[in-house]
Amino acid sequence: MTKYGERIALLREKQGMTQEDLATALGISRAALSHYETNRREPDHETITKIANHFRVTTDYLLGRTDDAVKQLDPDVKEFVDSLELSDEDIMKKFTLTVDGEKLTPEEAKRFIAFVRAERLMK
């Protein structure tokens, strides 16, 4: 089984980053990153999450629990989610979008949907 350090180094190298580049992006020291990559130290939960978010992989992948870097939805669930058009007024009425316990206004919901769409285009 691949250790987390090997996966971090592999992901970093695939993106053509130096240890200094990645350490700066994560807000940690290069020495700490070096220790993680050589399995001399274990990153804390917050750092594992930052690394996973940076490389757009799951924490389970980094920790060696799975070899699938990206979580895949069940095909039926994916088909359902992809078929939803949240900008459609009928769907907006059926689903209540909330953040911090507060219902989003229609304008906030539209901005949220626009954000998701923009993020998808970046992939």
User: Which residue ranges form the domains of the chain, and what is each CATH number?
Assistant: 4-62 (1.10.260.40), 75-122 (no CATH)
Could you tell me the pLDDT band of residue 18, with boundaries at 50, 70 and 90? Answer: very high
Q: Which pLDDT score is estimated for 51? A: 95
Q: Which pLDDT score is estimated for 28? A: 96
pLDDT in tens, 30-47: 999 999 999 999 999 999
Average pLDDT over residues 41-60: 91
Q: Which pLDDT score is estimated for 116? A: 80
Measured between its terminal Cα atoms, the distance across the chain in Å is: 28
CA distance 34 to 98: 40
At position 57, the amino acid (one-letter code) is: V
